[in-house]
Structure 1
């Protein structure tokens, strides 16, 4: 009698699952020692390592009836790789912690790994290791590492009065897609896909540093909210021009709101000296002004915009 082929991770077991996962995850040149030992070894020629981490919890950050495992994997990688790029660094590696119920299908987990791998590839990173554990619901813990290649990190604290504010990447698409899914609608597909799989322009981080950016942030929680982090850290006021904001018709009547408050597209927003000639991939949307000592805020057409932005403990 033929043995039954394991279809769930509970039937397959921890170590067999790890073997199947690592077989799908080729290693790039920055990974000197990949999965299979007690820890990975990642090259750090700069002498410094950029590091960031995120948690994605089923039902809170993704729904399996809205997104497939491949899309969830790409999204999990993208939001971490974008944070590395926002520091002006190039991503080198990801580490994945996966918690899942034993009845989770093996095929689901392998497609998740495919998504992680294929999102890492264009950014130049590899999935270099991690851990798997049993849990009542699927949770992903992702750590991303990056290399500054000898340059200074781009922080939130460098904006100066007189700088221009510019963005690169889509704004509002993922937020509009999320609203459509919540309403049970099946289009426009462009917006639904944007929620399921962001497309950060990873090269924008190192490019911004080369262009002389004074501050940069990954727009993960909303444009106004994330630019507010720059304003507070820099002790400046950021003044946005509503007419300059990219609000394509596909975003619908709430387009401006989605652009100002939606974050899951992982665009990049930065401040640049006023004499810098920005390429056409960047859109100037405002300016940096002086603020009262010890303060920092963001205004849109001269007024505060307080509706929206993501907060895990309030949203």
Structure 2
């Protein structure tokens, strides 16, 4: 069962609140699961529940998402700020962690794993790698900036998620309802909005999409890596995925999925569990 908690973190000259949920025994080995750009920590509920017998699973909401505070300065909605917040959470946990990161969560994981004396012991990268094509970044920018401000009800919000996140893979109706439930926040005027600060799109909207080369960070990582790719992904290309395999990473391709696999299906969960167990 998920337990809600929060910690303060200092970013710039102000303290903010970072919300998270946790599963399992806090004395067990830790697994931190970090979500993608417009998502939140509850995306990992199914994976976390599957791991909870053996691990302490922590799933934060990145700044501006879910139960975490919004930032007054939207220019701070970028990976270095997220790493600051997550570093506070790592300090709060004060123990080694395995890291599961989807997309943006994987970028943050790479940044932390590349640092000297990192607490990360194993790194699962879900549909993210050392090179991100400009076209994929442009697609993400477009769906963020075109999202409706409000939805009349949860059903309308769920329909939107099914459309823009169809690449998550073949989810059940119950799984889509779960995502919709935790993706919605009530608005005073009636209806619901997506559960993130619309200003998280500001840095993306202000930039010109170009290939993002993270190879310097990638080459500094010394912990075991598992790379997961949706077979139709436009963000983690086959060529980049092959490079990650050549570097010694464990790899998994999720069929009938694009960017990014939802990590809700049994075969993928079993593969992640097997990879994590190698470090036990």
Which of the pair is proportionally richer in helix? 2
Instruction: State the TM-score, normalizing by the size of structure 1.
Output: 0.23
Instruction: State the TM-score, normalizing by the size of structure 2.
Output: 0.25
